[in-house]
Structure 1
Amino acid sequence: MSPASDAAGAGMVEIRSLVWDISLDIRYAGRDNFVGRPVKGYEAAGCYLHERVAQALARVERSLRPQGLMLRIYDCYRPVRAVQDFVVWAGDLDDQSSKPQYYPNLDKRDLLGDYISPTSGHSRGATADLSLLELREDRFEPMDMGTAFDFFDETAHTASPNVSARQRSNRELLRSAMRREGFENYPLEWWHYTYKPEPTPRTAFDFPVR
């Protein structure tokens, strides 16, 4: 665990310092997420990443703009306390309020492991959860990826055969754009990408997102 108390001390930057108009929808800073409330450690809706990772993500964004596309970011750096908050939530089997929306086909106990882990690459500042927007007429709209963000189900697996050809194509478009700049996808979540090699593969951080 790093003793860094803020982004600067951790060698991280906010992505909007590189792309001022990037689309952020940081779900864990609000109530629109699977725990139904702001997650511990999220004091604001910010996207922090190690500077090298942020630079790579900015290059992805710039490569997409001429195609009438842009990124929408759901999460970046995630404090260790937030990861622990997820684990506590997953262990509370009395709270099933988000099951219909986020894990309708899974027992909550099965979320620990593949979907919710006691450690996370997000806490190392090299992982981002994101999707694509496309320009339609005069505004950017979400592309159809087959499932919503944080939908815990086999249909959210990146190569799932249970989505349409268009949805698979949209996922591959995102994966190709991210791969060109060094990001690898987590196969169980089409939205989850980690920059490789990670700048600090053995160091996690716990400063709050402000």
Structure 2
Amino acid sequence: MKDFSHWFGQPSANEYENDRKSLHYPNILKTDLEPLGYASGEVSRHSFGNAVDVSLVDLQTGKLLDMGAIFDFFDKTSHLTATPEEIGEEAFSNRELLQRGMQEFRFIPFDLEYWHFDYHEREIDIPLDFPITPDLAGLGV
């Protein structure tokens, strides 16, 4: 977590990072991610083990359903207030389905990211913080 919060204030390091910017936050600067609420410079809610990032997959094809914006796209089109006119009817319906399903199991949606949910209670009070090492490569998406 400390490394991530340090990253906000650093200039783009390489071409890979520039590619990530164009994919995930093309309309804002990296230094804006924290002030706009897309990331925490202190402690991420994920660090307490009760926050998840999820989407929906078509079980027939194995492909992600249209959500109107890719995962970790930091823009108003990822907000829960995005309208069908902004993201399309199909994406809007898919987001509603995701919201209903997660809320049924007491997960609380995050207003700025359609994919982010917090479980209604925290089981730990001290955030987890560990080094990201090569042996963790390939975990998650």
Query: Match of 1:89?
Result: 7
Code of the residue aligned with 1:105 in structure 2: it is N
What is the aligned counterpart of 1:172 among 56, 76, 96? 96
- Which 4+ residue blocks in structure 1 deviate beyond 6 angstroms? none
Query: In structure 2, how many angstroms separate the alpha carbons of the residues matched to 1:208 and 1:131?
Result: 27
Is 1:116 equivalent to 2:34 in the alignment?
no
Code of the residue aligned with 2:7 in structure 1: it is W
The alpha carbon displacement at 1:135 in A equals 2.4
Percent same amino acid among aligned pairs? 38
> Is the Cα contact below 8 Å between 2:46 and 2:52 reproduced in 1?
yes
Alignment of 1:47-196 (within 5 A): 83-95=1-13, 97=18, 98-113=20-35, 114-117=37-40, 118-136=42-60, 139-161=61-83, 162-196=86-120
Q: Which structure 1 segments of 5+ residues have no match?
A: 1-82
The alpha carbon displacement at 1:208 in A equals 5.9
How many pairs align? 125
Code of the residue aligned with 2:11 in structure 1: it is L
The alpha carbon displacement at 1:181 in A equals 0.6
Q: Which structure 2 segments of 5+ residues have no match?
A: 137-141
Query: In structure 2, how many angstroms separate the alpha carbons of the residues matched to 1:121 and 1:110?
Result: 19
Query: In structure 1, how many angstroms separate the alpha carbons of the residues matched to 2:5 and 2:55?
Result: 25
> Is the Cα contact below 8 Å between 1:134 and 1:140 reproduced in 2?
yes
Query: Match of 1:12?
Result: none
Query: Match of 1:78?
Result: none
Residues 21-70 of structure 1: CA deviation (Å, up to 9, x unaligned)? xxxxxxxxxxxxxxxxxxxxxxxxxxxxxxxxxxxxxxxxxxxxxxxxxx
> Is the Cα contact below 8 Å between 1:123 and 1:205 reproduced in 2?
yes
Higher strand share: 1
Residues 88-129 of structure 1: CA deviation (Å, up to 9, x unaligned)? 221113446122111111122211230121211111110110
Query: In structure 2, how many angstroms separate the alpha carbons of the residues matched to 1:151 and 1:102?
Result: 4
Which SS does the other structure have where 1:144 is aligned? Answer: coil
Query: In structure 1, how many angstroms separate the alpha carbons of the residues matched to 2:96 and 2:81?
Result: 9
Query: Match of 1:205?
Result: 128
RMSD: 1.8
